[in-house]
Structure 1
Amino acid sequence: MSVKMSETLKIKPKILVGVILGLVLLTLNLIIYTVDTTEYAVVTQFGNPVNTVLQPGLRIKLPEPIQSVQRFDNRVQIYEAEPLELLTSDKKSVKVDYYGTWRITDPVTYMKTVKDKVGAEARLQDVFSSSLGVKLGQYNLDELISVDTNKLKLNAMMQDTVRKSKEKAKEYGIEVVDAQIKVLNFPEANKQSVFARMKAEREQMAKKYRSEGSEEAAKIRADAEKEQKILLSEAYKQAQKLKGEGDAEAIKIYGEAFQKDSKFYEFTRALETYEKTIDEKTTLVLPSNSEILKYLENGKVGK
């Protein structure tokens, strides 16, 4: 009997320690919580926010149900919107398929106004659709869809939409980061007229490019012809100069030859004349004292 009593006394301290440790762990679990790097935390006391935690780490609170922790994703999130049918400034109906990106900036305001992601996206649908409808209604269709990039204002329209959406989303503790159009389409009734207009614009641009090409080709031809005339003029000038220099050199040579032997010079000149004017079929009728007959005698050159 005494042995059993001693064994029971030995077991009770172990049980007591285990109970105490269990209570400590339970208490710590109730008052200590962690905040991840991807989230914000709001501590509420009987449903009212009393503390906002924006940085990750271990935190302490009162045990539930006195205080509770609401967690919200702090990363950029994507809102996939339903396509909208809107009107442009020139009353053309377009179908807009778009998406937006957003994140929580004020978790307390977010919790009070939209509560969760489902509520946030319901508000964002109103924010994006109204902002996009207002801004798209300020542009004509040919400013949103055009083959002329200088005329295209789609990016400017989306930037205006993002700015307006940012202003509206602030009241929900949300920051609109960006919004982009995935597809800008037309109802079936409008497609043919839009395609016809785009085709006409493309043909107009093609005519413009052809006209500019013809103008440039004409300019190149004119420059080439001008350069040709200049080159021919320079060549003719050079040829005349060389010819003049050659004639002058010939005259000089003839003059020097005449000075050395005038009779021989006259003789060679006469031979050149005969060679140019007389052949086997030539008949000359000249007076006997003609100078040209001076070196001819019975068809032969005389002495």
Structure 2
Amino acid sequence: MENVTEQQSNQAAPLWTKVVRIGLGISIFILLVAYPCYVQVSEGTSVVVTRFGKPTRQLMEPGAYFKLPWPVEDARVVDLRQHVFNTPYTATLTHDRRNVVLSTFVVWNVADPLLFLQSAGSVEAVSAKIDGMVTAAKNTRMGGYDLSALVSTDVAQLQTQRIEQQLLQDVQQDAREKFGIQILQIGINRIAYESSNVSAVLAQMKAEREAAAKQLRALGEKDANAIRDDAVVRSEEILRDGRLEAGRIRADAEQKVSEIYAQAHLRDPEFYRYWRSLEALKRSLGSDATIILRTNEGFMDLLTDPPPVPQKASPSSLPTTSEDRTAQFPPGNTQATAEKQP
């Protein structure tokens, strides 16, 4: 019984192996036949299908597509992503006869894959064509601008953005129609000069800075003069008011002094003259003066011969106010009191 089972298993095994091998072979054959007919379009790319070298259709949307196997149909993949091309340094002449060397960058992508393959076919080939177009546009446009449009310390004179926009307009349409590419941006990334132009550029920048400095100094001097003039006017007004006030105060004081002198003179003219003479003597000699005179000089009569003491009123009836108080000397000590006067 066991031998019969083993014989049946041995017969079934080769049959199953044959079926697997046949299925695997058929699958490989199908893959080999179907793979050349499969086209995968990735994101950011496009595929141009050609039949015997003649373009038939463009596949722009990402996904899987079918085509006839090679050599009947072929698929050319085109990169639709943005590319940046830096042009080499090219010399150009400005309107003021200055020779400048410019380096620009160009941002572009493929807009028409079929036209791109027919006209250029590769990124290297289309970069050379872009270089020629941009160089021609630079030579044309820079002839209408002075050097100050590229290099200047005055922001109002710089025209870099306008020049870049004009360069883009000059090459954008031709690049789209001739090569199937869309130029998105053109910019100037570096400016160089010949050795003969470096001194001219530096002199121009120095002159612009000096002009700006002179303008700032003029504005500052104008504001300073206005401030000084206003201060002078205000100081004159303050001094005028002060002089008027001082005049009024001085007039009032002189009036009061005159009234006091008049009252003193009316009360005792002899004593008034004596006191005024002493004041004049004090002002003449000062505090540290030394003078030697004879006692019979007229100037010293006040010390040797003072005026007599008035006898109009008794000491008890004299006024006690500060305004009406007068000096009194005892009758018996007139000579001694006069000798003690300064």
TM-score (norm 1): 0.77
Aligned length: 281
1:100-249 matches, within 5 Å, as 100-171=106-177, 172-233=179-240, 243=249
Gaps of 5+ in 2: 1-6, 257-261, 283-297, 300-306, 313-325, 330-342
The alignment's C-alpha RMSD in Å is: 3.7
1:253-272 matches, within 5 Å, as none
Change beyond 3 A, Cα 1:198–1:270: farther
Structure number with higher relative contact order (C-alpha < 8 Å, ≥ 6 residues apart): 1
Gaps of 5+ in 1: 252-264, 285-292
Give, in whole Å, the separation in 1 of the partners of 2:245 and 2:31: 112
Change beyond 3 A, Cα 1:229–1:135: same
Change beyond 3 A, Cα 1:166–1:296: farther
Change beyond 3 A, Cα 1:85–1:238: same
Change beyond 3 A, Cα 1:3–1:143: closer
Give, in whole Å, the separation in 1 of the partners of 2:214 and 2:9: 114
Corresponding residue for residue 45 of structure 1: 51
Change beyond 3 A, Cα 1:277–1:185: same
Report the Cα offset of residue 203 of structure 1. 2.4
Paired amino acid for 1:90: D
Give secondary structure in 1 for the equivalent of 2:91.
strand
- Share of identical aligned residues, percent? 23
1:10-49 matches, within 5 Å, as 10-49=16-55
Change beyond 3 A, Cα 1:155–1:68: same
Instruction: Kindly indicate whether residue 278 of structure 2 is the aligned counterpart of residue 279 of structure 1.
Output: yes
Give, in whole Å, the separation in 1 of the partners of 2:275 and 2:39: 127
Give, in whole Å, the separation in 2 of the partners of 1:75 and 1:270: 121
Report the Cα offset of residue 279 of structure 1. 2.9
Q: Considering only CA atoms, is the larger Rg found in Structure 1 or Structure 2? A: 2
Give secondary structure in 1 for the equivalent of 2:157.
coil
Report the Cα offset of residue 114 of structure 1. 0.9
Give, in whole Å, the separation in 2 of the partners of 1:13 and 1:226: 119
Change beyond 3 A, Cα 1:153–1:275: farther
Change beyond 3 A, Cα 1:106–1:297: farther
Q: Is the 8 A contact 2:86 2:103 kept in 1?
A: no
TM-score (norm 2): 0.69
Change beyond 3 A, Cα 1:93–1:4: same
Report the Cα offset of residue 75 of structure 1. 1.5
